[in-house]
Amino acid sequence: MGLWLGKHPLILASQSSARKMLLANAGLEFKAVTADIDERGIQSASALSNPREIALLLAREKAKSVSAGTPGSYVIGADQTLALGNRLFNKPAGRAQALAQLRDLAGSSHELNSAVAVARDGQIVFEDVSIARMTMRELSDDKLSAYLDAAGDAVTTSVGAYQLEGLGIHLFERIEGDHFTILGLPLLPLLAFLRRERLVAV
């Protein structure tokens, strides 16, 4: 028997393998639906510059977009921004851009802002942002090239050009923050909300 008690299916507005894994490992039955939104366009139109606010805006928009077509369901939207000081990073377009990003991040600490928003019938009913602080090792171009060779095309699927749950762990010397925040879904605050709403069995 699953843990989900809702009358309608729980929906994740994302095809992120990490987010799907986190929900599945928590024993929640859900459907994953792609949120068809223009993230960069929404970000640009908002004129926001704060990484936390941008992550939350995009999580809200993803949740509301999918919620509009799934009446009655609770829809989870999530987004993550990476900030090195005041500079925001996006997913690299290819190997050259991944190398450039990693050169900038090496030897420094950056922040991951992970936002989650839950919508029902097009309205946001819960939101939260959690932050993790990541300190990357000093890395030579030879070390970065070896990492990029080993990681392959996966480097273009994540902001910062790394997946901490995979080969990206080799790039770091210190991490402050929980595992779920780093993977892009603040799971503990989300589960607390679902319990308050009597939507999970434990």
What contacts 89, CB < 8 A, 6 or more positions away? 81, 82, 83, 101, 105, 110, 159, 160
Which among 36, 79, 128, 141 is annotated as catalytic?
79
CB 37 within 8 A of CB 62: yes
Reply yes or no on whether 79 is catalytic: yes
What is the DSSP-derived secondary structure letter of residue 155? G
Closest CA to 112 of 48, 164, 67, 36: 164
Hey, which residues does 32 pair with through a beta bridge?
A: 12
* Tokens found for residue 107: 């030897």
Catalytic positions = 79
